[in-house]
Amino acid sequence: MITISDAAAEKAKQILTAEEKAEWGLRVYATGGGCGGLSYGMDIDEKPGDNDDVMEKNGLKVFVDKDTSKKLEGMNIDFIDDGEKQGFVITGGSAPSCGPSCTSCE
């Protein structure tokens, strides 16, 4: 299961609303590559696919392909804004040993 922090869910909802896509959801995926052989990404998607698991956090819909769900088991998505650095941070799961992957929907 993927864990999404309240901060990440709220920021993603803000982005979707700003893009006039408030009813859309966040797609989370894994691809080959990266220093650990696996890299993560996020995008927005209008609706889930036929083979998607769908979860919801604070009104944010999250779509994950069922075939990819096992690769993302234990993944945590957070949003940080410490004044110097701002963005989504993905950790846990099968995260590469060299550190977390960071990506922003913006």
Classified by CATH at the fold level, domain 3-103 comes out as Hypothetical Protein Aq_1857; Chain: A; (2.60.300)
Residue 58: per-residue pLDDT: 94
What average pLDDT does this structure show over 24-49? 84
What residue segments make up the domains of the chain, in order of their start? 3-103
pLDDT digits (tens, 9 = 90+) for 62-99: 999 988 888 888 899 999 998 888 999 888 865 444 44
Residue 36: per-residue pLDDT: 60
* pLDDT-based confidence at residue 54 (cuts at 50, 70, 90): very high
* Tokens standing for residue 31: 């691809």
Residue 34: per-residue pLDDT: 55
pTM for the complete prediction?
0.78
Top pLDDT among 104 and 21 is at 21
